[in-house]
Chains A and B, each alone.
Chain A
Amino acid sequence: MKIVIDLKLCEGNERCVAAAPEVFEVHDDQSHLRIENPPSALMEKIRLAIRMCPRQAISLSDR
């Protein structure tokens, strides 16, 4: 599982950081991944981040 952030949609609202600070960080008004392949223990937080992102900029990909 890979996390994908669509930077064309992301506006730096920081909701992802609030939901999963281990995974996301915002600088220059855009979200960045702190880790590429998160351990499964973080999946729940990542799903919350996906849900909380107001721009729906985060998704999961199998590749």
Chain B
Amino acid sequence: MSTPELSLGSIDVITPEHYQQNGYPHAQWTYLRKHKPVFHVEQPRTDPFWAITKAADIMEISKQPKLWLNGPRLAVFVLSPGEEALPPEALPLKHLLNMDPPQHGQYRSLLSRYFTPRSVRALEPEVSRITTTVLDDVMGRTECDFVTEISSKVPVAVIAEMLGVPRQDWPTLFRWTNEIIGGGDPEFQRGENPTETFAQARMEMFQYFTNLVAERQKHPANDVTSILANAKVDGAALPTLELLSYLLVLVVAGNETTRNATTGGLLAMIENPSQFQRLKSDPGIIKTAVEEIVRWTSPVIQFARTATQDTVVRGQKIKAGESVCLFYPSANRDEEVFDEPFRFDIGRNPNPHLGFGIGEHFCLGSNLARLELEVIFRELAKRLDRAELAGPVARLRSSFVGGIKHMPIRYKLGPSHD
């Protein structure tokens, strides 16, 4: 990124178009960490917020879920030019990410045991099968779009499998997730603007899951949809909105994120060939490699919290009702936490990154994401003889979940060894 001269007056870490054009604003985050780690932002097209860029402050805020709520403002969303803000009740969603204690814990504990390292380990054969199929599909060729043909295919298949979504519906599920997360990007837009795109996809997905839930209430199967469809909170079945929102978040949360970690991970390997060689010659390094990929790519850019009472962060007074924006990619380059934070080192250990967040809302799917990344990069290390960019990468227009929507590569891929 070219940032000739930085000053607080020129900082902009939230305009989605900038992410599309330049990628993550690491130079600006680095400047903020050094000069103004709790920085008040007022910009058009969004409400004011405090930008939090130090790892220690994100940890401190995240572990006080009663002082800092998720409900009032989930993340900092920026309207498209000309788009009007809708009142939240226009498109209701009620899920883990926008629930607060005590309700949040009740809902989270319904599923947490299905996402432990032990539970997700059981999915490994299936994840391997899915990954092998996806790679086999592009084997005979020398060029492909790594995103649309590889990295986006695995996460949606894995979560669809966990939810018990029949295989013929996977492509539709895939489209909805693109629209819900990437609705701010013209490529995925349907209708007039991001809000309309989101509303449409949300409605169709709710309709779809209403049917699947009814089916699983009659005939429970061994899948997560059956568990939620038949679960109880405070002695009663989940209300429809909570149940459908839970399913929607499971589908959406794990897709774009894992896809971008995969794409960004391969891009980092292409840019640091010695690290890819290291992974090839030392497969045992995969676990630290996956952590480093998540730190390096930090696919979730930010979530927000809103103060329930007047408080102080790093000496800065923050009033009740004001919100903070937690910039995870910045925490993951914090020079107070990491030696040489701008070096991609697949052996980095310990690696206390915050790519999955921390505390009350810590990523429920982290162990699943880790498993997927492990399998994908294990297979790529085995089968990919070489890979280089075959054209420029295209980035998503979003300052919420960042990433790459197209990455043309030229490659040589060998057969599966199993």
Contacts and interface: CB of A to CB of B under 8 A. Distances in A.
B281 interface: no
Given A29-B113, A29-B118, A55-B362, A13 B352 contact: no
Nearest to B357: A54
Contacts of B115: 11
B116 interface: yes
A43 interface: no
B366 A54 contact: yes
A13 B113 CA distance: 10
B350 A52 contact: yes
A57 to B, nearest CB: 10
Interface string A8-51: 10011110000100000000010000000000000000001001
Contact of B116 (A12, A48, A56): A12
B117 A55 contact: no
Interface in B153-190: none
B59 interface: yes
B367 interface: yes
Contact of A13 (B59, B357, B360, B367): B367
Interface in B356-396: 356-360, 362-363, 366-367
B210 interface: no
B118 A12 contact: yes
A19 B350 CA distance: 8
Interface range on chain A (Cβ under 8 Å from partner) = 10 to 19
Nearest to B109: A11
Contacts of B63: 56
Given A12-B116, A13-B116, A14-B117, A52 B59 contact: no
A17 to B, nearest CB: 10
Interface residues of B, number: 21
B127 to A, nearest CB: 19
Contacts of B360: 55
A54 B369 CA distance: 15
B60 to A, nearest CB: 10
B112 interface: yes
A56 B359 contact: yes
Contacts of A51: 352
Nearest to B59: A56
Contacts of B112: 11, 29
Given A54-B356, A56-B359, A12 B350 contact: no
Contacts of A13: 116-117, 366-367
Interface in B102-123: 105, 112-113, 115-118
A48 to B, nearest CB: 6
B352 A52 contact: yes
Residue from B63, B113, B350, B366 whose CB has the most chain A CB atoms within 10 Å: B350
Contacts of B358: 54-56
23 contacts: A8-B105, A11-B116, A12-B113, A12-B116, A12-B117, A13-B117, A13-B366, A13-B367, A14-B116, A14-B117, A19-B350, A29-B112, A29-B113, A48-B350, A48-B352, A51-B352, A52-B352, A54-B357, A54-B359, A54-B362, A54-B366, A56-B63, A56-B358
Given A13-B117, A56-B359, 19 more contacts: A8-B105, A11-B112, A11-B113, A12-B116, A12-B117, A13-B366, A13-B367, A14-B116, A14-B117, A19-B350, A29-B112, A29-B118, A48-B350, A51-B352, A52-B352, A54-B358, A54-B362, A55-B362, A56-B62
